A = this chain, B = another copy of it.
Amino acid sequence: MIENGASNEATDTADPYAAVLRPVRSGNTFEETVEKVLQLIRLGLVPVGDRLPPERELADRLQISRVTLREALKVLQDAGVLEVRRGRYGGAFVLAPAPTPAAASGGAALRRRAEQLGDRLEDTLLFRQVLELGAAELCAARRPQGVEAERLQLLLAETGAASLEEYRRLDTRLHLAIAELSGSASVAAQYAAVRATVNELLDCIPLLTPNLQHSQRQHEELIDAILAGDQTRARVAMREHLAGTAALLRGFLS
């Protein structure tokens, strides 16, 4: 006498549990920690030459033991991503990435990355769009004022004045700031994760000055709409901005 009648409904086609029954953890603690630290670097939150927060603080904030954190740092050190110095004023410093023939390869590196992602590439781009459009709209709805508005304007100005090398890092910061000003920590956290993946792809293709100028004009329109509290305009501006990036990626992938 198994009362299974109620469950045999419209969802029988697909796996009804698919959205819930995913891996509880995407790897062991140490692997996830490596990813977190790489996120800090890929997002440009810790620029090349700067150092990470002290081990004790990192372990504390990631809620892991220092032992496990150190294993992760060890791997990144061996990989040439970090340089660790002892003593006071020491720490883990971010090294310049090895000069890979990425940008000049005409998209070969990008295709490799995209293949590694597989099905998750489409997922990543769609999820990014949902988060980014939602963040822009929420941010506009809150209509930042005072220090928050000034922060956006400062980031906008810095991004506009950035060199080609700095642009992607400052662009990331501007977008992340919008996500944070959405008022939802979850939106900000998920965006940070997804943007780190996107940056990994973007770092495989060259950035051109015309693209940059076009992008910056869109930034100005976006921030203007946000500060005016115009949700619809903010969303439209963000959508156009994202369309540019998506077209860029698709162009190199096809």
Chain A residues packing against B (C-beta within 8 Å): 2-4, 6-7, 9-11, 13-14, 16-25, 29, 32-33, 36, 39-40, 43, 45-47, 49-51, 53, 58, 61-64, 89, 119-120, 122-124, 126-127, 129-131, 133-135, 137-138, 147, 151, 154-155, 158, 173, 176-177, 179-180, 182-192, 194
Contact = CB atoms under 8 A, between A and B. Distances in A.
A177 to B, nearest CB: 7
Given A11-B173, A180-B18, A24 B62 contact: yes
B50 A122 contact: no
A182 B126 contact: yes
A90 to B, nearest CB: 10
B173 A2 contact: no
Closest 4 CB pairs of A and B: A130-B134, A23-B63, A126-B184, A19-B192
Given A49-B3, A134-B134, A40 B18 contact: no
Contact of A20 (B45, B120, B133): B45
Contacts of A50: 3-4, 6-7
Nearest to A166: B6
Contacts of A9: 154, 158, 173
Contact of A17 (B2, B13, B17, B53): B53
A40 B63 CA distance: 27
A57 to B, nearest CB: 9
A53 B173 CA distance: 44
A16 B47 CA distance: 12
A17 B45 contact: yes
Given A2-B89, A6-B47, A10-B158, A40 B24 contact: no
A45 B16 CA distance: 7
Contacts of A122: 183-184
Given A7-B50, A16-B45, A24-B32, A129 B134 contact: yes
A216 to B, nearest CB: 16
B130 A23 contact: no
Q: Which of A63, A151, A184, A189 has the most CB of B within 10 A?
A: A184
Contact of A190 (B40, B43, B137, B190): B190
